[in-house]
Amino acid sequence: MFVRLAASLFGAASSAVIIDAMKHDIQGIQAGSFDTIIGKFRDDAVSAVWYYKENNAADEKFLDEYQKVAKELKGIVKVCAMDCERFAKFCKDAGVGDTPSVMIYPPNPQPPFALQGELTSKRITNVLTKSVPSLVTTLTADNEAAFLTSDPSKPKVILFSNKPKVPFMWRALSAEMVFKRTIKFGFATEEANAELAKKFKINKYPSIVMQRGGKGEQKETYSGDINFQAIYSWVNLYSESGMGDKVAGAGAGESDSEEAKPWLIQDIPELTGPSHNDVCFKSEGLCVIYLKKGGITDAETTMLTGLKNRFTSHLDGRGTVLKWMWMDLDAEPNLAEMFEISTVPGAAVFNPHKRLRFTKLDDEVAADETSISALIDKIMGGDARFKMIKGGKLPTWTLRAKPEKKKSEL
């Protein structure tokens, strides 16, 4: 079946514009359907309308050129056409004079505008793709953790690329009407995000991965074709799980409705007031806490990660869970007083369930790989003595200033 926007059925006219639904990707619209198809979506979508006259030779010649645009942007941008002989008043009100005329309708509040000069498929496509907003977060070492842990109800989809710029397809997916509320799109490069690529086990470029779950525990690598429709279908399977409370308009940064929780993806997270329930007190197991003054070093993190991996393997299947973390005694003076650590760095193992209690290294023993291993072996052997927390309640955590939010790099 085709929509014939044509001259006489008897062939009286020498020229005719015929848009065949079996051959073309152009969407024919009428004056009465303009608001339904284009107007009501101006806040979210980019559209183009070719205003033509059905018996105009120039319009007939332009049809194939415009079809190239519709084919390339199918499913991404609405590429439409309206007959100005049938809907003359609408075209006049829209300011259409000679045809062919192509009007671009970018997202609000940008006004629509008519393309001037030569109307080639390449030029029209370039204008349309540049009009599509981006809600992609370009990932850096500074914002990776915040991206992956804020809005935990929203799946995060990351494109790992060996090219420096966010491709149009990725921008278009991020700005799709439903996805902009329910999915977070990230862009990572081989050069700038080597550690993140290692974390997601990326071994080829481009690669696309998705992280889901309240603690980012579900990870999936996309294995389909790299094109808009195929990726859209895959992401759409999970889009309804996003809660998307706040989304900015075109050109603005996204406003996260749920605070970032970087400790959810860190191998050795810091124990603080905001993090303590997630990393220790509201989940199964014992909390192994490395206690020091000031920040943790890379060498200390490596040492603790090695211990974590060793004991996770050693205790697998025995029902004992150890959760590993560190705490800055200078930043948490109330808890430092509770632990009574005389040798720094120190270590304590906390049982956060029912009756709060802990055991720790002897006062003269500093925490290192050997002493921490011995402490855990002592606990597993049933020889450790746990001290009850006075009053059965934790001391007050230090209130820390929230870091200032940086504008997303789009």
**For the segment 132-148, what is each residue's pLDDT rounded down to a tens digit?**
999 999 999 889 988 99
d(CA 400, CA 404): 12
Helix (H, G, I), strand (E, B) or coil at 322: strand
pLDDT value, residue 248: 41
Q: Are 190 and 296 in contact (CB under 8 A)?
A: no
Give pLDDT, residue 48. 97
Residue whose token pair is 């033509």: 52
What pLDDT score was predicted for residue 14? 52
**In this structure, are strands 218-221 and 207-212 parallel, antiparallel, or unpaired?**
antiparallel
Question: Per-residue pLDDT for 172 more than 80?
Answer: yes
Q: Which residues of 190-321 form beta strands (DSSP E)? A: 207-212, 218-221, 286-292
Residues facing residue 358 across a β-bridge: 350, 387
d(CA 410, CA 398) in angstroms, rounded, equals 35
Q: Is residue 11 predicted with pLDDT exceeding 50?
A: no
* pLDDT exceeds 80 at position 54: yes
Q: In the structure encoding, which two tokens stand for residue 241, read together?
A: 């799980």
Pairing outcome for strands 184-189 and 136-138 = parallel
Residues 6+ apart with CB under 8 A from 213: 152
Token pair 């996260």 in the structure block, residue:
256
With a cut of 90, say whether residue 245 has pLDDT above it: no
- Interval 270-297 mean pLDDT: 90
The pLDDT value given to residue 261 = 80
